[in-house]
Amino acid sequence: MEALIAIVIGTLTACGVYLSLRGRTFPVVLGLTMLSYAVNLFLFVMGRLTIGQPPIIRDGASYADPLPQALVLTAIVISFGMTAFVVILSLRARAELGNDHVDGKESE
Amino acid sequence: MMSHLVIIPLLLPLLTGILLLLLRGSATELHRLINLAATLGLVAVALLLLMQTGEGQVEVYRLGNWSAPFGIVLAADRLAAVMVLVTGLLATGVLLHGRRVGSYFHVLFQMQLFGLNGAFLTGDLFNLFVFFEVLLIASYGLLLLGGGRNRTRAGLHYVVLNLVGSTLFLFAVGSLYGVLGTLNMADMAVRLAELPESDLGVVRTAGLLLFAVFALKAALAPLHLWLPGAYGYTSAPVAAMFAIMTKVGAYSILRVYSLLFGPDSGPAAGLLDPWLIPLALLTVAAGTLGMLASRRLSQQAANLVVVSAGTLLTAFGLGGIDAVAAGIYYLAHTTFAAAALFLLADVVSRARGEYADRLVTGPDLPRGQLLAGVFLLIAIAVSGLPPLSGFIGKWLILQSSIGNPWMSWVLAVLLITSLLGVMGLARSGSQLFFDTDGWAEAGPAIRLSDLAAPLVLVLLGIVLVVYAGPLYEFSRAAATQLVQPSAYVEAVLQTAEAGRIR
């Protein structure tokens, strides 16, 4: 289970890094989205992987750490808003610069 | 009895921003007045906060009255109060610059203040992330106001870089939480001291990741390349307000690393020692070269922001009470001086008509001598010549480097780049004001009120000189509090001692 989650997060991060280094805005936006998915998963499992446990402290019983769930909720909202913003900004850059290259000019 | 003063610097800009959003149909002049009133209120609150923390107590505000490691805290010590005051004063100066930028300028401006004050006052690492995002979202909007090709391109780079930075921040926060089980910075300091050897690698990795994020915000080389474009192409009031943004990064480095990785913090101590000074000196050199190569005055001002960020982090990197105190003094000076230069570049740009602020032979300026005089004042302050505050700041930093292993490098780099800085500014000044072509057409004559904003900021710099003694004593007190963080930790965790679970 741990290995699977680690591989998933690693793959997402690697793809995100690769895509965000691309020269056009669309792959960059996709890369940023993948990076934010990866980090959301990462934050989520930082409370350790537990199955079927309540997120409430009770006498004797073990519990799932509720804090990462709250953190990840915040992180999702922020990254969602940011992605929306960067999509709009990319469209505006496409309109103003005449192409979708991040530097605003086609490389030779 | 918990003082509610600590949360007012957050509530005031937030509520003002919402009010301005509700009033969006009404006149811009009204917005400006409300904005200015709220900002002056912020200055007053910051002064009160400074008085409350001046004796050395740490004001802790527990939201919802949840005790410290479980609830969220705001904490104000001397440094945080100084930062809020500098932000308020800077914002007041910037607002005096009456140039219409865009319809949502005032709303975004207050949101930016909300994020800045939050980042200075928070005692919780995740909330530092949240407030970083608040100030970044506001800054994206501010940066892009007005539009234009260059601005959009620089804005796209800025947004994408900062989004990647935010992701790295979350990775670092997640790793630290996974190991330490807490995000309250004071509690993290306690846990770090008793860290088992096996977890040290993760903590060091996360610490250096955090450093990369803060270095991106503070424009530390090699992560400074976004700054000249972003600051150089945005509108003048926004660029002037952004003079405090790199200082947020520097403040975070100082706060997080003095608490978590300071000299007496256990096994992870001294994490940044091999990195901070060399990178900071590299930043100073890179910024100076960029300044010499600049073709516009606002671009030159942007590169000077890079230089000042490097100088500031050199001071923080030297460590010890003297160097950190010198850094805090220099921080206040450089924020005002850089903002004044951006605002003056805008005034000059309008006076020169279509030549804008490009460093080429331009028209004879009406009231050119007055402008040149103000430029001279600001250039003296920025480049660190006596008698203005830049000189005192740099002198204090140089003095504190004596005896440090890096002394020769710090002295050599800072002195040579200061000379080059003077030369660069002298060249720009003579180009703009003396190398004129009588046939070229100037823009509209400036009004005296245009110079009010830069002059107010210069005046703040002069206050820094006149009261240099007491202000330096206060910076020393603030630095002492940072170098010995145990009082901060105790104040934050005080009531929690009885009911700790782990």
In SS3 terms, chain A reads as CHHHHHHHHHHHHHHHHHHHCCCEHHHHHHHHHHHHHHHHHHHHHCCCCCCCCCCCCCCCCCCCCCHHHHHHHHHHHHHHHHHHHHHHHHHHHHHHHCCCECCCCCCC
Instruction: Note which residues in 42-101 of chain A have CB less than 8 A from chain B.
Output: 42-43, 46, 48, 67-68, 71, 74-75, 78-79, 81-82, 85-86, 89-90, 92-93, 96-97
Q: Please tell me which of the candidates B149, B163, B171 has its beta carbon nearest to residue A82.
A: B163
Phi, psi at B281, each rounded to 5° = -65, -40
Amino acid letter, B155: G
User: Is the peptide bond between B444 and the residue preceding it cis, with omega within 30 degrees of 0?
Assistant: no
User: Is the peptide bond between B363 and the residue preceding it cis, with omega within 30 degrees of 0?
Assistant: no
* Beta-carbon separation of A39 and B137 below 8 A: no
DSSP B56: S
Phi, psi at B55, each rounded to 5° = -80, -5
In a domain, B502, yes or no: no
In a domain, B202, yes or no: yes
Per-residue pLDDT, averaged over A89-106, amounts to 87
* Beta-carbon separation of B170 and A43 below 8 A: yes
Q: Are B464 and B389 in contact (CB under 8 A)?
A: yes
**Please, is B337 exposed, middle or buried when counting C-beta atoms within 10 Å of its C-beta (0-12, 13-18, 19+)?**
buried
Q: Are B316 and B253 in contact (CB under 8 A)?
A: yes
Directed axis angle between helix A25-45 and helix B149-180, to 10°?
20
Q: Please tell me which of the candidates B133, B160, B177 has its beta carbon nearest to residue A32.
A: B160
Q: What is the pTM of this model?
A: 0.93
Q: Are B260 and B270 in contact (CB under 8 A)?
A: no
Phi, psi at B447, each rounded to 5° = -95, 155
What is the model's pLDDT at position B500?
Answer: 43
- Both structure tokens of B123: 């005692």
**Please, is B364 exposed, middle or buried when counting C-beta atoms within 10 Å of its C-beta (0-12, 13-18, 19+)?**
middle
A37-66 as b/e, with b when 16 or more CB fall inside 10 Å?
Answer: bbbbbbbbbbbeeeeeeeeeeeeeeeebbe
Phi, psi at B80, each rounded to 5° = -60, -40
* Beta-carbon separation of A71 and B177 below 8 A: yes
Helix, strand, coil in percent for chain B, rounding step 5 = 75, 5, 20
**Three state DSSP letters for B477-500:** HHHHHHHCCHHHHHHHHHHHCCCC
Of B279, B272, B275, B278, which Cα lies nearest the Cα of B254?
Answer: B272
Q: Give the span between the Cα atoms of B261 and B258, in whole angstroms.
A: 6
Q: Please tell me which of the candidates A32, A68, A103 has its beta carbon nearest to residue B163.
A: A32
- pLDDT, one tens digit per residue, over A46-63 is 888 888 877 777 777 778
* Beta-carbon separation of A39 and B147 below 8 A: no
Which residue's structure tokens are 């999509």? A87
**pLDDT band of A40, cuts 50, 70, 90:** very high
In a domain, B93, yes or no: yes
Question: From the CA of B152, how many Å to the nearest CA of chain A?
Answer: 6
* Beta-carbon separation of B152 and A43 below 8 A: no
First to last CA, chain B: 27
Question: From the CA of B134, how many Å to the nearest CA of chain A?
Answer: 9
Report the domain count for chain B.
Answer: 1
* Beta-carbon separation of B164 and A32 below 8 A: yes
In a domain, B338, yes or no: yes
Q: Does A12 touch chain B (CB under 8 A)?
A: no
How would CATH label the architecture of A2-49+63-97?
Orthogonal Bundle (1.10)
* Beta-carbon separation of A93 and B152 below 8 A: yes
What distances in angstroms separate CA A5 from CA A1, A68, B159, one per listed residue?
A: 6, 16, 29
Pick from A33, A34, A42, A65 the residue to mutate for testing the B interface (most B CBs within 10 Å).
Answer: A42
Q: Does A104 touch chain B (CB under 8 A)?
A: yes
What is the model's pLDDT at position B266?
Answer: 72
Q: Are A68 and A47 in contact (CB under 8 A)?
A: yes
Question: From the CA of B146, how many Å to the nearest CA of chain A?
Answer: 13
Pick from A35, A58, A69, A94 the residue to mutate for testing the B interface (most B CBs within 10 Å).
Answer: A35
Of B339, B311, B143, which Cα lies nearest the Cα of B244?
Answer: B339
Q: Walk along chain B (502 residues) and give the pLDDT tens digit of each residue.
A: 467 899 999 999 999 999 999 987 777 888 889 999 999 999 999 999 999 998 888 888 988 888 778 888 999 999 999 999 999 999 999 999 866 677 789 999 999 999 999 999 999 999 999 999 999 999 999 999 887 888 999 999 999 999 999 999 999 999 999 999 889 998 998 888 888 888 889 999 999 999 999 999 999 989 999 999 999 999 999 999 999 999 999 999 999 998 888 777 777 788 888 889 999 999 999 999 999 999 999 999 999 999 999 999 999 999 889 999 999 999 999 999 999 999 999 999 888 888 888 888 888 888 888 899 999 999 999 998 888 999 999 999 999 999 889 999 999 999 999 999 999 999 999 998 888 887 777 778 788 888 889 999 999 999 999 999 999 999 999 999 998 888 888 888 874 444 443 3
Instruction: Note which residues in 169-198 of chain B have CB less than 8 A from chain A.
Output: 170-171, 173-175, 177-178, 183
Instruction: Note which residues in 80-139 of chain B have CB less than 8 A from chain A.
Output: 126, 130, 133, 137
**Three state DSSP letters for B341-386:** HHHHHHHHHHHCHHHCCECCCEECCCCHHHHHHHHHHHHHHHHCCC
Q: Are B336 and B89 in contact (CB under 8 A)?
A: yes
Question: From the CA of B243, how many Å to the nearest CA of chain A?
Answer: 23
Q: Does B160 touch chain A (CB under 8 A)?
A: yes
B237-267 as b/e, with b when 16 or more CB fall inside 10 Å?
Answer: bbbbbbbbbbbbbbbbbbbbbbbbbbeebbe
Q: Are B86 and B48 in contact (CB under 8 A)?
A: no
Which chain B residue has its CA at the smallest distance from A17's CA? B164
In a domain, B317, yes or no: yes
Which residue's structure tokens are 């309109």? A95
* Beta-carbon separation of B164 and A90 below 8 A: no
What residue numbers bound the domain in which B276 lies?
4-493
DSSP count for chain B of H helices, then E strands: 20, 4
Of B258, B342, B361, which Cα lies nearest the Cα of B301?
Answer: B342
What is the model's pLDDT at position B502?
Answer: 36
* Beta-carbon separation of A25 and B156 below 8 A: yes
Answer whether residue A108 shows pLDDT above 70: no
Phi, psi at A49, each rounded to 5° = -80, 115
Q: Give the span between the Cα atoms of A58 and B50, in whole angstroms.
A: 43
Which chain A residue has its CA at the smallest distance from B71's CA? A67
Q: Give the span between the Cα atoms of B53 and B57, in whole angstroms.
A: 5
What is the model's pLDDT at position A107?
Answer: 65
Which chain B residue has its CA at the smallest distance from A23's CA? B157
* Ranges of each domain in chain A: 2-49+63-97
Of B458, B410, B190, which Cα lies nearest the Cα of B278?
Answer: B410
* Beta-carbon separation of B177 and A46 below 8 A: yes
In a domain, B498, yes or no: no
In degrees, to the nearest 5, what angle opens at C-alpha B43 toward C-alphas B40 and B48? 130
- Both structure tokens of B98: 């009456």
In a domain, B500, yes or no: no
DSSP B195: -
* Beta-carbon separation of B173 and A43 below 8 A: yes
Which residue's structure tokens are 């630290």? B176
In a domain, B501, yes or no: no
